[in-house]
Amino acid sequence: MLTVAVRYFTRSGNTKKLALAIADAVHVKAEEVSVPLNEYTDILFLGSSVYAAGVDDAVKKFLLDNRDKIGKIYNFSTAALISSTYKQIQKLAAANGIKLAKQEFHCRGSFAVLHRGHPDEEDVKNAVAFAKSIVK
């Protein structure tokens, strides 16, 4: 049986919305990156976003502290402008010797007047389909 976990970082709740839906779809609990992995995890859905300077340091710390317990990261993200956090997570994964899956999920996240309401119902539905395509 493959072990699965969901961890995320959020500031305004956008990425959390996806994390909760993904966790529900794969029958685990979504936790913030402040919660360490309690066992070896084959499939880690990792949610993040960018805030000018990149992904938050809490995500970097989580990967460093938990690297021995992560089989493979499946990235998901929200952002206002960039196309996803994949590149940022790819760098961190490489630096920590962690595998990163090619598949990822990204959608727009509301920011000030941009993308109001996102992630919306459709985004959440797509995130669920993504998660289910990984954990069959």
Q: Under the criterion CB under 6 A, does residue 88 sit at the interface with ligand FMN?
A: no
d(CA 75, CA 111): 20
Nearer to ligand FMN, 12 or 133 (CB): 12
Q: In 3D, which of 1, 9, 3 has the Cα closest to residue 70?
A: 3
Q: How far is CA 28 from the centre of its chain?
A: 14
Residues 63-82 that bind ligand FMN (CB under 6 A): 78-82
Supply the minimum distance, in Å, between the C-beta of residue 126 and ligand FMN: 15
Nearer to ligand FMN, 54 or 71 (CB): 54
Q: Under the criterion CB under 6 A, does residue 50 sit at the interface with ligand FMN?
A: yes
3-state secondary structure of 107: strand
Q: Under the criterion CB under 6 A, does residue 15 sit at the interface with ligand FMN?
A: yes
